[in-house]
Amino acid sequence: MALVSWAMDFAIAMCLQAQKWMYGGLDSNVLLQYLAWVTYPVVLITFSAGFTQILAPQAVGSGIPEMKTILRGVVLKEYLTFKTFVAKVIGLTCALGSGMPLGKEGPFVHIASLCAALLSKFMSLFGGIYENESRNIEMLAAACAVGVGCCFAAPIGGVLFSIEVTSTFFAVRNYWRGFFAATFSAFIFRVLAVWNRDEETITALFKTRFRLDFPFDLQELPAFAVIGIASGFGGALFVYFNRLIVQFIRKQKTINRFLMKKRLLYPALVTLLISTLTFPPGFGQFMAGKLTQKESLVTLLDNRTWAKQGIAEEFDYIGHSQAWKHPQVNVFVTLVLFIVMKFWMSALATTIPVPCGAFMPVFVIGAAFGRLVGESMAAWFPDGIHTDGNIYPIVPGGYAVVGAAALSGAVTHTVSTAVIVFELTGQISHILPVMIAVILANAVAQSLQPSLYDSIIRIKKLPYLPELGWGHHEKYNIRVEDIMVRDVRYITLNCSYRELHEVLLSGHLKTLALVESADSMILLGSIERSQLQALLTQQLGRPRRLEFLRQRALNARKSQEGISTEESSFGPARSGTQKPLKPALKRSSVEKNSVEMPMSPHEHSGMALKSLFCAHPDAATVEVRLSSSGAPDSRKPKRVRISVVVRAHTRKRAHPHRIAEWEEQQLDEPVNFNNCKIDPAPFQLVERTSLHKTHTIFSLLGLDHAYVTSIGRLIGVVSLKELRKAIEGSVTVKGVKVRPPLASFRDSGTSSSETEATELHKLWDRHRNLTLPGEHRPSDSEDNKSQ
């Protein structure tokens, strides 16, 4: 990740330098300058949007909301693939190289997670611990820390920030792993800068030089607190404005349909608008338009005061600081215009469908707001605040540091931005003002709006569990029985393959409940869908069908030779008076060499079951020829082989009828669960479990569903969907009986794990002498693995 980060930074710097070179080389003609200034970012953003849309649309946006969902246990399809990695890296490089107010922190968390997932997938080829699903989650948790760490060369803040934005409950065992990976990543990232002669030694990314003996006066603390409170309101406004733009475009049906057809038009128009307003000879001269984000941040954190006695002209502007000086406008107006314009530009730019984040633009806006307050304080107290006769002038750069941490913390609902700021600037002198401002900003922002990442989760409708908000104590009176789904799909211990097949086709649940019988509804465990599909494959798959055909062909040959044989055990013939049943699941004509079956809503299930009943004449021919290879007469095997092939081309022969009868017989047989992995202890709740406790269990364990039982009987199921609706207020509290707080606690003194295990053993022994999953013989477990 350090190599990726350094290479991307190098490419982004080259792109920005190319834009400056084009702009500077055309200074003789303003019109050509404008065309170069506008066309360059439009082309890059349009390419980024098109490339991402074609290769991997999952790479669009930040990446932190989706990682938050994945770390909660939800599988997002195609999100951690190599295609997404390529699209994210190239798309992000072009987007940031265009000079638009976009960030790279969120996408870097996604890129690091992609690296972790791809490396784990590669290592799993050699077996070992990387095949474990829980280890993959731990790898992703460490990758999120690496993403932030190598983005800002801030390993400590990166680990803390990744925990705050991606985890509800954090496993402490991942803590040192995150620090280990993030520290090495940040170290190599800065070593590469030294190797490339960008730096003389390993230093902070935005190094400041504030005085350490007297960094601030205690009388300045109210000003820092004002920055924190104002940043809280500003962060909430930014999140609200960003969501408002997306919802406005979605609600306007005409605009939405037009932009869906012309996908590249929206990013091109937004880029054209923003780059036009930042054109330096135009309106950009009033808001330091020609500075990049990095240059703006360096100047804002400068420890020299820009305004002496409130007059900006008296300050000797050097280097990039020259951009903030304007002959007709003082520095205060420039800073106000910069804050206001960048605020709505960043909120608008982050809605472009390209890989981009919002942390860095918000960070720069916060620094500008802090600088504005600092310059104002310096103007009001030109000689500093007097303490014991000593004069210490105000340092506006310190206010910029406080503002950057406060606003970015308010938007993301994190406190660790304070630590990131210390690592970015290399100075910890303003630790107290920064912590005060960040905590106040969080207190204000969290009471007004969700974080930017939670807002995107709501916009994208990702399956994530929202937090229980403040002051919603009435929701604690809702019980599981009020929100559970009572129509549960289940399979019984003595069900037939036909019933199993019908249950699989009727839904797309990943796991199904196993009960003792439909009358008792005693919950015995749960079985994954893939296990049930394997059972059907084993019972009705091609090997058994070919075995049946081979046996029939052998019997036919022997009967022609006058040899009496026993009837095949695979397909006992039924009485001739009975009308042959239609082959199970066959719907299309047999002439096509493949038989379609009704597709399940779950794609994998449909394809898997479809493959069971595909008639392949070539395979059948080979099997029959092998079985007939020992015949003394060469013509008889040929006749038998042709008869099997003809079966696939006509319905007038007896073979389709025989196969139909065989299929019906196989479907009517009871299911054998001996070689099936069963979870004997799925997560269960009682019907009186409170909503608060259910929310805690789902968040802590990363569940997507839990069964509701009453004295061992299955009575319902609760999934993320029902829980989310209950928390968001879809379930009315009116009419729900308020129960005593201890009503959900049951007397469990008489039951123990030993007695429960004994009862479960008895149930299994009573039905078909099945064995528990943990009691498989070594050969059984090997068969399961091979399946």
Mean pLDDT of 466-495: 77
pTM of the model: 0.73
Percent of the chain with pLDDT over 70: 74
C-beta of residue 110 within 8 angstroms of C-beta of residue 66? yes
C-alpha triplet 152, 156, 162: angle, nearest 5°: 80
Could you tell me whether strands 511-515 and 490-492 are parallel, antiparallel, or unpaired per DSSP bridges?
Answer: parallel
Q: Which carries the bigger pLDDT value, residue 568 or residue 420?
A: 420
On whether the CB atoms of residues 218 and 428 are closer than 8 A, the answer is: no
Q: What is the distance between the alpha carbons of residues 7 and 93, in angstroms, rounded to a whole number?
A: 10
**Predicted confidence (pLDDT) at residue 758 exceeds the cutoff of 80:** no
pLDDT tens-digit readout, 424-472: 888 888 888 899 999 999 999 988 888 899 888 888 888 877 777 655 5
Q: Tell me the range of 215-229, 462-476, 660-674 where mean pLDDT is highest.
A: 215-229
Residue holding tokens 């009871």?
670
Minimum mean pLDDT among 270-279, 287-296, 403-412, 702-711: which range? 287-296
Nearest-CA neighbor of 703 among 573, 454, 511, 562?
Answer: 511
Question: How far apart, in whole angstroms, are the C-alpha atoms of residue 48 and residue 36?
Answer: 18
Cβ atoms of residues 694 and 718 within 8 Å: yes
Residue with tokens 């092939």: 645
Percent of the chain at pLDDT > 90 equals 14
Higher pLDDT, 689 or 406: 406
523 φ/ψ angles, rounded to the nearest 5 degrees? -75, 120
CB 452 within 8 A of CB 238: yes
Neighbouring residues of 786: CB distance < 8 A, sequence distance ≥ 6? none
In angstroms, how far is CA 712 from the centroid of its own chain? Answer: 35
Helices H / strands E in the chain, number of each? 30, 8
pLDDT in tens, 341-397: 989 999 999 888 899 988 899 999 999 999 898 888 887 877 777 666 677 777 888
Q: 412 with 371: CB under 8 angstroms?
A: no
CB of 598 within 8 A of CB of 585? Answer: yes
Per residue in 728-757, pLDDT (tens digit) is 764 444 333 333 333 333 333 333 334 444
Alpha helices in 394-492 (DSSP H): 396-412, 417-425, 431-448, 452-460, 480-483
Tokens of 594: 């493949």
Structural contact between residues 642 and 653, judged by C-beta atoms closer than 8 angstroms: no
Helix (H, G, I), strand (E, B) or coil at 707: strand
pLDDT score of 56 more than 50:
yes
Residue 636 has pLDDT above 90, yes or no: no
Digit-coded pLDDT (tens) for 119-147: 888 887 776 666 667 778 888 888 988 98
Give me the mean pLDDT over the 216-236 stretch.
Answer: 88
Strand partners, 370: none
Separation CA 153–CA 163 (nearest Å) = 17
Mean pLDDT of 500-519: 84
Query: Using an 8 Å Cβ cutoff, are 626 and 639 in contact?
Result: no
Instruction: Name the pLDDT band for 637 (thresholds 50, 70, 90).
Output: very low
Interatomic CA distance for residues 558 and 582, integer angstroms: 28
What torsion do the CA atoms of 51, 54, 60, 63 make, to the nearest 10 degrees?
Answer: -100
Both structure tokens of 284? 């950009």
**Contact (Cβ atoms closer than 8 angstroms) between residue 686 and residue 480:** yes
Residue 159, C-beta contacts closer than 8 angstroms, at least 6 positions apart: 145, 148, 149, 175, 178, 179, 182
- Residues 666-699: tens digit of each pLDDT: 788 888 888 788 888 888 888 888 888 888 888 8
Q: Which two tokens stand for residue 559?
A: 């009967």
Binning pLDDT at 50, 70 and 90, where does residue 494 land?
A: confident
Cβ neighbours of residue 192 under 8 Å, at least 6 residues apart? 2, 3, 6
19: left (phi over 0), alpha (psi -120 to 50) or beta: alpha
Query: pLDDT: is 65 or 652 the higher one?
Result: 65
Which value, to the nearest 10 degrees, does the dihedral of the CA atoms of residues 428, 433, 434, 438 take? 160
What backbone phi and psi angles, to 5 degrees, belong to 386? -75, 130
Whether the predicted pLDDT of 409 surpasses 90? yes
Report the distance separating Cα 569 and Cα 551, nearest Å: 9
Which residue matches tokens 């003789």?
28
Q: In sequence order, what are the residues at sequence separation of 6 or more whose Cβ sits closer than 8 angstroms to the Cβ of residue 462?
A: 65, 66, 69, 74, 76
Residue type, 719: S
Q: State the Cα–Cα distance between residues 400 and 374, nearest whole angstrom.
A: 7
Is 43's pLDDT higher than 90? yes
Cross-strand pairs, 61 = 355
